[in-house]
Amino acid sequence: MRAIAIDAFGGPERLHEVELPDPEPGPGEVRIRIACTSVNPVDWKIREGWLKDLFPHRFPLVPGWDAAGTVDRVGEGVERPAPGARVFAYCRKPEVQWGTYAEHVVVPAGYVAEIPQGLGFPEAAAIPLTALTAWQALFDFADLGPGQRVLVHAGAGGVGGMAIQLARHAGATVYTTARRENHDYVLGLGAERAIDYTETDFREAVRELAPEGVDVVLDAVGGETLARSYELVRRGGTLVSIVEEPDAGRTDALGIRAGFVFVRPDGAQLARIARLLEEGALRPPQIEVLPFARAAEAQERNRARHVRGKLVLCWEAG
């Protein structure tokens, strides 16, 4: 199969096309013939070696954790999905080597969900990692519910865009940070108020909207943004970061609950997300499709941190 791989950690020039043996599914696994993947910040973080102490890595290393395509083989004991099913999946495995910048990926059947009818592979590829992250942060960790108020940082990004929609669908009121040129986009996703973090201190805007603090903050930026977010959570509320571990000293002093969430693959949860897509309660982010041959450029654009929605890589892209 064709794949995009690196032979050592380093810059975007390390990414090159290679021919690799087709992987075979073992018991309980399925093989997906990948049509499209999407670019996530973790892809270039892995390429640069930032996560090498967190997971075992092996070379040649194929990056990529999102996949949309067709099941073309199943291992022993797998009844569903069947060969021919159109599926999507968040494909992180315990060892980082065989990712989704490839024509095939093998994953446990439990990672996979069927793509709703009418949703194309490029749109589907933009969804699993970001939607599962938003779901696990907002609902599994922060227990967000109707009538609550949530501040979602980086609403124009992959995770932020999903978080706005999922929170709104759950009956919460959503405030979000985004540059002005992205305000129509994030308001269209369901945010009640967009705050241009480059023009104003977002703390002042949030304090005006929720003087007693919001129930939940979802931090998708880290650093100074996280540092300024603690004081915006009401006492008893929750701060969840997907970028770094919050400072326990500060959260204890403020009487708020806080934690770092690292997304895990979950096909059953992804199937619930698929149902929301089918019902129109959730829609795919804005996407731009590039051919796999432009993976290095796509990673560098993602690394510059201002892509709206998602960049998607497809084998059939023009």
Least spacing, CB of residue 173 vs ligand NAP, in Å: 19
Cβ nearer to ligand NAP, comparing 199 with 316: 199
Q: Does residue 24 contact residue 106 with C-beta atoms inside 8 Å?
A: yes
Cβ nearer to ligand NAP, comparing 101 with 197: 197
Positions in the binding site for ligand NAP (CB under 6 A)? 40-42, 129-130, 133, 153-154, 156-160, 177-179, 182, 197, 220-221, 225, 242-243, 261-263, 302, 305-308
Q: What are phi and psi of 148, to 5 degrees?
A: -90, 165
- Sign, Cα dihedral of 244, 249, 252, 255: negative
Least spacing, CB of residue 308 vs ligand NAP, in Å: 5
- Sign, Cα dihedral of 214, 215, 220, 225: positive
- Residues in CB range of 29: below 8 A, 6 or more apart: 74, 75, 78, 106, 107, 108, 109
Q: What is the DSSP letter of 55?
A: S
Cβ nearer to ligand NAP, comparing 116 with 160: 160
Residue type for position 52: K
Least spacing, CB of residue 270 vs ligand NAP, in Å: 14
Q: What is the dihedral of CA 167, 242, 126, 313, to 10 degrees?
A: 160
Quick one: tokens of 25?
Answer: 């599914």
Residue type for position 19: E
Cβ nearer to ligand NAP, comparing 59 with 262: 262
Least spacing, CB of residue 159 vs ligand NAP, in Å: 4
Cβ nearer to ligand NAP, comparing 220 with 258: 220
Q: What residue is closest to ligand NAP based on CB? A: 157
- Alpha-carbon gap, residue 129 to 263, rounded angstroms: 7
Least spacing, CB of residue 14 vs ligand NAP, in Å: 19
- Alpha-carbon gap, residue 71 to 132, rounded angstroms: 21
Q: Does residue 148 contact residue 216 with C-beta atoms inside 8 Å?
A: yes
Q: What are phi and psi of 6, to 5 degrees?
A: -125, 150
Least spacing, CB of residue 287 vs ligand NAP, in Å: 11
> Helices (H) and strands (E) in the chain — how many of each?
10, 17
Cβ nearer to ligand NAP, comparing 25 with 182: 182
Cβ nearer to ligand NAP, comparing 25 with 155: 155
